[in-house]
């Protein structure tokens, strides 16, 4: 099983400031971390490798400093890491990001599974995983909380839904996004950290990936962020108190007043 794990470097806080003029994230002066969900993705990849053999390749599209996140991935058990970086990628939205990631996976070629986090803590869209699968034309399952079995080119997973979970079988190669319930990530090891320090991390550019300029960066990003606001809380709940009988009476009264019964 060769696993590709997509990781993104994000600001180490959930309170990112947004530039009111450009509506883009202000990243200066904030310490960068590995997107928390991607840490679970990575751990799952490493566990699959430990059970089934193969290797784990971490990829990230980002500025040169995203190399740091890739070194962290190696310390946590990834065998290889590739940085997808090019001035032309700047300003990419999820469509352009997933396009570049798909090109990289195609170039890697011998993958059986691609694992992403459920979403990032900065962009927060959760769109990259499904778009990546769409670009590659392979199956996709979101919010995976458990991998039950991998056998004969197929994989059975549990996927979280609001009321519980679904069990889905998918054929491989495929893409999944994972939730934090899937595992408890291990801490890095000293040998892993030493390996991470000395690892060579190749950089794949737009040209190396053969991506046309109009498909990446601002040109390839149809998303326009027009405004960002906190939605108004329009629904109000009300907690009824007292004994069960009292509560039922009060509820029926209220429903009558509202003319719903």
Binding site for other proteins (CB under 8 A): 186-194, 197
Name beta bridge partners: 144.
Answer: 159, 178
Find which of ligand FAD, other proteins, none residue 92 binds, CB within 5 to 8 Å per kind.
ligand FAD
On whether the CB atoms of residues 5 and 37 are closer than 8 A, the answer is no
Find which of other proteins, ligand FAD, none residue 38 binds, CB within 5 to 8 Å per kind.
ligand FAD
Mode of pairing for the β-strands spanning 174-178 and 113-117: parallel
Instruction: Compute the least distance from the CB of residue 79 to other proteins, in Å.
Output: 17
Q: Applying CB under 6 A, which part among 4-12, 150-158, 179-187, 238-246 lies near ligand FAD?
A: 4-12
Mode of pairing for the β-strands spanning 56-61 and 140-151: unpaired
CB of 41 or CB of 75, closer to other proteins: 75
Site for ligand FAD in 77-96 (CB under 6 A): 92-94
Instruction: Compute the least distance from the CB of residue 116 to other proteins, in Å.
Output: 25
Task: By CB under 6 A, name the one of 3, 4, 6, 209 that touches ligand FAD.
Answer: 6
Q: Is 135 in the site for ligand FAD (CB under 6 A)?
A: no
The contacts of residue 90 (CB under 8 Å, 6+ apart) are 63, 217, 218
Q: Is 123 in the site for ligand FAD (CB under 6 A)?
A: yes
Find which of ligand FAD, other proteins, none residue 191 binds, CB within 5 to 8 Å per kind.
other proteins
Question: Mask: binding to ligand FAD, 30-49, rule CB under 6 A, as x and -?
Answer: -----x-xx--x--------
Task: By CB under 6 A, name the one of 50, 110, 124, 149 that touches ligand FAD.
Answer: 124
Q: Is 116 in the site for ligand FAD (CB under 6 A)?
A: yes
The contacts of residue 94 (CB under 8 Å, 6+ apart) are 123, 125, 127, 128, 131, 223
Both ends of the chain: CA-CA distance in Å? 58
Instruction: Compute the least distance from the CB of residue 8 to ligand FAD, in Å.
Output: 4
Q: Is 65 in the site for ligand FAD (CB under 6 A)?
A: no
Residue nearest ligand FAD, CB atom distance: 123
Q: Is 228 in the site for ligand FAD (CB under 6 A)?
A: yes
Name beta bridge partners: 25.
Answer: 18
Determine the Cα–Cα distance for residues 177 and 132; give it in Å rounded to an integer: 11
Determine the Cα–Cα distance for residues 92 and 107; give it in Å rounded to an integer: 20
Determine the Cα–Cα distance for residues 147 and 155; give it in Å rounded to an integer: 7
Burial (CB count <10 Å: 0-12, 13-18, 19+), residue 72: buried
- DSSP character at residue 185: P
Q: Is 117 in the site for ligand FAD (CB under 6 A)?
A: yes
On whether the CB atoms of residues 144 and 42 are closer than 8 A, the answer is no
141 C-beta neighbours (distance < 10 Å), count: 21
Residues at the site binding ligand FAD, with contacts judged by CB under 6 A: 6-8, 24-25, 35, 37-38, 41, 60-62, 92-94, 97, 101, 116-117, 119-120, 122-129, 225, 228
């Amino acid at each position: 099983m060769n696993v590709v794990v997509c990781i993104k470097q994000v600001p180490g806080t959930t309170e990112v400031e947004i530039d009111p003029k450009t509506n883009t994230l202000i990243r200066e002066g904030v310490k960068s971390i590995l997107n928390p969900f991607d840490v679970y993705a990575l751990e799952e990849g490493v566990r699959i490798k430990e059970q089934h053999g193969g290797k784990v390749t971490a990829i990230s599209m980002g500025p040169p400093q995203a190399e740091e996140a890739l070194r962290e991935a190696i310390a946590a058990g990834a065998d290889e890491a590739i940085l997808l970086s090019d001035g032309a990628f700047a300003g990419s939205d999820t469509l352009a990001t997933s396009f570049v990631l798909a090109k990289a996976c195609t170039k890697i070629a011998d993958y059986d599974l691609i694992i992403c986090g459920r979403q990032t803590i900065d962009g927060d869209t959760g769109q990259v995983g499904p778009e990546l699968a769409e670009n590659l034309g392979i199956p996709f399952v979101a919010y995976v909380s458990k991998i039950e079995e991998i056998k004969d080119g197929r994989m059975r997973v549990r996927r979280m839904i609001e009321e519980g979970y679904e069990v889905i079988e998918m054929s491989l190669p495929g893409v999944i996004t994972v939730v934090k319930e899937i595992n408890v990530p291990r801490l890095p090891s000293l040998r892993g950290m030493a390996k991470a320090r000395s690892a060579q991390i190749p950089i794949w550019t737009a040209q190396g990936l053969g991506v046309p300029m109009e498909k990446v960066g601002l040109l390839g990003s149809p998303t326009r962020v027009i405004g960002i606001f906190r939605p108004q809380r329009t629904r109000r709940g009300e907690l009824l108190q007292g004994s069960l009988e009292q509560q039922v009476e009060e509820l029926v009264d209220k429903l009558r007043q509202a003319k719903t019964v």
